[in-house]
Copies of this chain bind each other. A is one copy, B any other.
């Protein structure tokens, strides 16, 4: 790993408070690598060898069962995935695949566990990270259980809208098939959901989506921070 990448890695919340010694030890065995799109990074069911950190790009967390596949989450910079499997020295419950050209930091699982045992500040950061991951999964489960597909899309759009500056336009950074899988529906039903939302001011042109009547959309979506607020 090139030494000019180190400061930006160090600035990540997970690593910021740990000691210099711990950080240097950890980075000895780590590597930061570019991957093209559609590369499988980890396989569901395999033992976790590395902690992965998305530094650039995007990674799709995938779950499969029989002939069925779903998208569990999209990891964007700067975020880790598979931390729990690493800490428990266990198997991945999900696979991961790059959605775009991505730069991924990979840190040996043993190094993470060793550093955690030695550096309390690092452990505290891990606690913070895990608590956030757990709450993210709870919110996803709530959405899946309490909302219809159309409602999930509407709320997804409102969140994306806020994250993109709230100027009436949402630019899709993922293809619609992946969005459908993330929202727990078929691509066909995503198209239909968009058609349903047309009456609520949602205009779709390829990857650009205009929210012409945001309050109308909000009325249908019924957002709640307890599901939709990424910071909660």
Give A residues with C-beta under 8 Å from B.
44-45, 63-66, 68, 70, 72, 83-85, 87-88, 90-91, 93-94, 116-117, 120, 123-124, 126-128, 130-135, 137-142, 144-147, 184, 222, 224, 226-227, 232
A91 touches B130 (CB 8 A): no
CA distance A139 to B63 in the complex (A): 10
Interface of A is mostly: helix
Which one of A68, A130, A132, A232 has the highest number of Cβ atoms from chain B below 10 Å of its Cβ?
A130
Residue contact A83 to B131, C-beta cutoff 8 Å: yes
Q: Bound complex: CA of A144 vs CA of B68, how far in Å?
A: 12
Once the chains bind, are A93 and B144 in contact (CB under 8 Å)? no
Copies in the complex: 2
Chain B min CB distance to A210 (Å) = 27
B141 near A232 with CB under 8 A, answer: no
- Can you name 12 A-B pairs with beta carbons within 8 Å? A63-B226, A64-B146, A65-B224, A68-B146, A72-B138, A84-B132, A84-B134, A85-B135, A93-B135, A93-B226, A117-B124, A140-B141
Query: Is B138 a contact partner of A88 (Cβ separation < 8 A)?
Result: no
Closest residue on chain B to residue A88 by CB atoms = B131
* Residues of chain B lying within 8 A (CB to CB) of residue A146: 63-65, 68, 70
How many Å lie between the Cα of A116 and that of B121 in the bound state? 11
Q: Would B66 and A222 count as touching, CB distance under 8 A?
A: yes
Asked if B133 contacts A123 (CB within 8 A), the reply is no
Q: Taking A88-B132, A144-B145 as given, write out 14 further A-B residue pairs in contact, using a Cβ cutoff of 8 Å, ordered by the A residue number.
A: A44-B226, A63-B142, A64-B146, A84-B131, A84-B135, A94-B138, A120-B120, A123-B123, A130-B131, A130-B134, A134-B134, A134-B137, A137-B138, A140-B141
What separation, in Å, do the CA atoms of A130 and B131 have in the docked complex? 7
Q: What 4 pairs between A and B have smallest CB-CB spacing?
A: A137-B137, A84-B131, A130-B130, A134-B134
Q: Are B140 and A226 in contact (CB under 8 A)?
A: no
A61 nearest CB neighbor, chain B only: B138
Which residues on B sit within 8 Å (CB–CB) of A133?
A: 134
Say yes or no: A65 contacts B147, CB within 8 Å: yes
Contact between chains at A87 and B141 (CB < 8 Å): no
CB-defined contacts of A138 to chain B, threshold 8 Å: 72, 93-94, 137
